[in-house]
Structure 1
Amino acid sequence: MYTKPNTSLKVAARLADLGVMVYAPTQTVVRQWADRKKKVQVQVMPSMVLVNVHEKDTGMVFQVPGVVRYLFEQGKRAKVQDKDVVAMQLHLEGKAIAAQTAVQVGDTVQVPQLDEKATVVALREKKMFGTFRAFRRSGVISIAVVSN
């Protein structure tokens, strides 16, 4: 759903208080001012909050100040699948787990959390870096190698 500017985190907290499942991804970045540097939480998707509500409860979210409207795709409320949310979380954390041990660059591995396959692009000790395609974008994730 779309929110007023700079209110995504407050809206997410208020919706969570109402019992709505919400996800407002943030990332810690270092911002520099003239006199100091500070780590701050920045919204990954400004003015957007992902919500999981039943069809009958769609109007309930408008009780929260700061909510503007739902996002639409082809005339219907936009839906994001759970695996896409998990892919986003893993991408922001920079990790995923694959259940294979002997891999080489160019191999395709199954990533259970994403329920998708990733192509190995680099290897370093017990980590491999793979590309995946989810949430209509491709990305690079760090994949831990786990023994079977």
Structure 2
Amino acid sequence: MENQFGSRHPWTRRWLVVYTRPRWEKKVDRLLKTQDIKSYCPIRRVSNQWADRKKIVDLPLFSGYVFVWVSEREEYKVRQTLGVLNFIYYMGKPAVIRDSVIDKIENLISTHSDYEVINSQEINHGDRIRIKSGIFYNQEGTVIKVHGKTVLMVFDHLNCALVSNVPLADVMLNTAI
């Protein structure tokens, strides 16, 4: 709510986005709530497979981000929270998320079970990737092309050059190389 001079009242709340330390999203969400700050860390349930077992785990829908419902006066308190790196900025000001966007995220999570945020900008031509599910589970390869939600890749550890289209959701960057 802006006044006649175009500035916001310091107690008006709005949704902002904070950037967290890696894998601290749920912890930051908890820490903010203990300070009576309304926060939202959308969670998705996924089945993780290891060599010896399979387990259902809760992962943040947006890696590295938590939404906060704060006033201008509460922003400092959020910045001082352990695990919060900073607000996400747009045009020099903290990026404001419309209430309707938060509502759509909440609705998606409550009505669907198969969803994932995929950032195709993270995977590029020439990257080494590993398959995280499916018939080629744990196989490594090199990205030839990213096309929409699929990756054209070559598997080079199968004693041949097998080229395949693999869904982005089924691959991860191989950081161990």
- Structure richer in strand, relative to its length: 1
TM-score, normalised to structure 2, is 0.52
RMSD of Structure 2 on Structure 1 (CA): 1.0
Question: 37, 60, 63: which one pairs with 1:43?
Answer: 60
Q: Which residue of 2 aligns with 1:67?
A: 84
Question: 26, 34, 37: which one pairs with 1:20?
Answer: 37
Q: CA deviation at 1:57?
A: 1.5
Question: 23, 27, 36: which one pairs with 1:6?
Answer: 23
The AA in structure 1 aligned to 2:51 is: A
> Would you identify which runs of 4 or more consecutive aligned residues in structure 1 move more than 3 Å?
none
Where structure 1 has 5 or more consecutive residues not aligned to the other structure, the ranges are 96-148
Bigger radius of gyration, 1 or 2?
A: 2
Q: CA deviation at 1:47?
A: 0.8
Map residues 1-148 of structure 1 onto 2, 5 A cutoff.
1-94=18-111
How many pairs were matched up?
95
Q: Which residue of 1 aligns with 2:5?
A: none
Aligned equivalents of 2:107, 2:74: Cα separation in 1:
29
TM-score, normalised to structure 1, is 0.62
Aligned equivalents of 1:29, 1:87: Cα separation in 2:
20
The DSSP-based 3-state class of the residue aligned with 1:49 is strand
